[in-house]
Amino acid sequence: MKKSELIARKMPNPDAFSKMLGVWRFQEKKIVFTNGCFDLLHLGHIDYLAKAKDLGDILVVGVNTDMSVTRLNKGKNRPITDQQSRATLLASLFFVDAVVLFDEDTPYELIKTVQPDVLVKGSDYKPEEIVGYDVVTAKGGMIKTLDFLEGYSTTLIEQKILKGC
């Protein structure tokens, strides 16, 4: 199988994703979920996602669609890269098992579908404030916050580019 086909399989349509979840649950895999815009993939993202994967067997990444990013008011130039590019870059990482786009303002409905064993966000959140906290804790799952790698963010990269550095 071609590498591009392997990457595409990690970005399933809803039916295929449902089947993947069923297989993982049958195999009793520990499913980890995180989400974000992941605009301009950088070292901070890699560090965060690798640490998230270390918390379980399967890493599912929810990615905001372009319209969702726009509604989040990340800035007038955001997203910088389109949703298909962002999803494909994430799916190309060997430790990411699935990438799912969501168009809502939060990934709540996606979290209800995934029913992760571990829900991961950055340490700038308090666990009880994380969207999906209720879903995950109701099933006995774990909420985990991870520190960001200092000095790495899409906003900092964007500012550097706009300054012409």
Instruction: Measure the CA–CA gap between 143 and 116, rounded to whole angstroms.
Output: 10
Give me 113's structure tokens. 């579908």
Instruction: Measure the CA–CA gap between 110 and 126, rounded to whole angstroms.
Output: 20
For the annotated catalytic residues, the residue numbers are 74, 76
Q: What is the DSSP letter of 128?
A: G
Which amino acid appears at position 92 of this protein? S
Instruction: Measure the CA–CA gap between 122 and 49, rounded to whole angstroms.
Output: 10
Instruction: Measure the CA–CA gap between 160 and 164, rounded to whole angstroms.
Output: 7
Instruction: Measure the CA–CA gap between 93 and 155, rounded to whole angstroms.
Output: 22
Residue 79: asked if its preceding bond is cis (omega within 30°), the reply is yes
